[in-house]
Amino acid sequence: MSDTQPRPHLPRLHLHDSRTRSTVPFVPLAPDNVRVYYCGPTVYDLAHIGNLRAMLTADVLVRLLRHLYPNVTYVRNITDVDDKINARAHANGESIADLTARTIRDFHEDLAAVSILPPDVEPRATHHIGEMQDMIRSLIESGHAYEAEGHVLFAVNTYPSYGALSGRTPDDLIAGARVEVAPYKRDPGDFVLWKPSDDQTPGWDSPWGRGRPGWHIECSAMSQRYLGESFDIHGGGSDLLFPHHENERAQSMCCHPHGRFANHWVHNAMLLVNGEKMSKSLGNFLTVRDVLRDTPAEALRLLLLRAQYRSVLNFTQEGLDEAKQMLDRFYRALENLDPMQDSVPAPGSVVQVLCDDLNTPRALAEMHALADAAMTGDSRAAAQLKAAGNLIGLLQDTPEAWFRGGAKVDPAHVERLIEERLAARKARDFARADEIRNALAAQGIVLEDGPQGTTWRQA
């Protein structure tokens, strides 16, 4: 077995690589430590469901890598210095520190609610200004960057492979970047590495004057700090492919010409809301919290998993309802779970399809087959269903907790009413028994009579 193979008896992972525009076998640079970097949030507002799709793609990928390989280092950054942050803090009449602290806290809470695991390292841009300045200094010394009117800019024409990641022509690159027309630029496509700050704007002392970093240099510096000059996978939403990731790659490769920067690029597609691009002007802009106000978090996660990450996903209320029904079925199947079998490995059939470029729709189909078997009383199939759910971050509750999770009543009160109903039935007061059942049903509580007694769940 090659040193770069996953654990024995596990399949080879194949991933689509945005740079080569093909699906290829994943071969780690170092088999003892698979290294992954994902672009995290710019912290000025609540995370929306488009942000969530990128974070969920990273979560499924890292969960699978940890199943396949003995060690994975996952880094996801936080951008806490940005002009959008400055503008929002000013508009809110609050300090930048208060805005970023609150937004980071909200981001962590929202992701935890949807069972997205935290990264191993979560560097903040403001804590790595020194590393950014070191990279900028190196780029100037090597002739890939230049100073102009308090700015430092990357000279795109010094890197012949600029555009290779996104597959764009020079004219496309300029149009796609929506470049700022500035007299101090040598070329319209040159992008900012460092820019000046006034007294009201966050800034740091530097050889080029008091200023702050451009967005692209942040990720290059933080990925190099924690993962090295070459690492395995860089990911994010497809909207980051250009210019952000193109610029990251250019400046990193020029700063470390003997490295590879990211060996493999993973980009998830965007999502639509009711068939339209999400935007505030259309009134269909949804934050994660907007959705979770009325929807179980696992239903939101399952809805996003029903489409393969490179496919456009249409987010609808009907889709959420269907996801909730699918979870009802899975949790029904888990009622046959034998506690003695609650630690079986993830089924090979599920691992196999996930290794086919994170094919979560097929993984869910395999889980439905396991649910079919579990509902016939197959306790091992129920255990395998639970293990499959754990692998993709689903089925984190017990059936009892799932079916009672949304009930707006005191559980002890429900149990007392069940006892009163049982006493009424024994006394053959069926009218009172039906009255109790109907009253609970009106509160969204369904009673189910079985050989072991009466249980209840959320409708």
Query: Rounded to 5 degrees, what are φ and ψ at 192?
Result: -80, 130
Tell me the torsion sign for CA atoms 104, 109, 114, 116: positive
280 among annotated binding-site residues:
yes
Tokens 């060996």 — which residue?
A: 263
Q: Is residue 355 annotated as involved in ligand binding?
A: no
445 near 414, Cβ under 8 Å?
yes
Rg (CA), the chain: 26
Three-state DSSP string of 245-257: HHHHHHHHHHHCC
H-type helices in 123-168, by residue range? 129-141
Identify whether the C-beta of residue 156 lies closer than 8 Å to the C-beta of residue 146.
no
219 is in an annotated binding site: yes
Distance between CA atoms of residues 183 and 192, nearest Å: 13
**Under a CB-based contact definition with an 8 Å cutoff, are residues 236 and 180 in contact?**
no
Q: Residue 57: exposed, middle, or buried by beta-carbon count in 10 A (0-12, 13-18, 19+)?
A: buried
Name the helix (H) or strand (E) containing 390. Answer: helix 379-392
Extended strands (E) in 63-186: 72-76, 145-148, 151-154
Which residues are known binding-site members for Zn(2+)?
39, 219, 244, 248
Which residues are known binding-site members for ATP?
280
Which residues are known binding-site members?
39, 219, 244, 248, 280
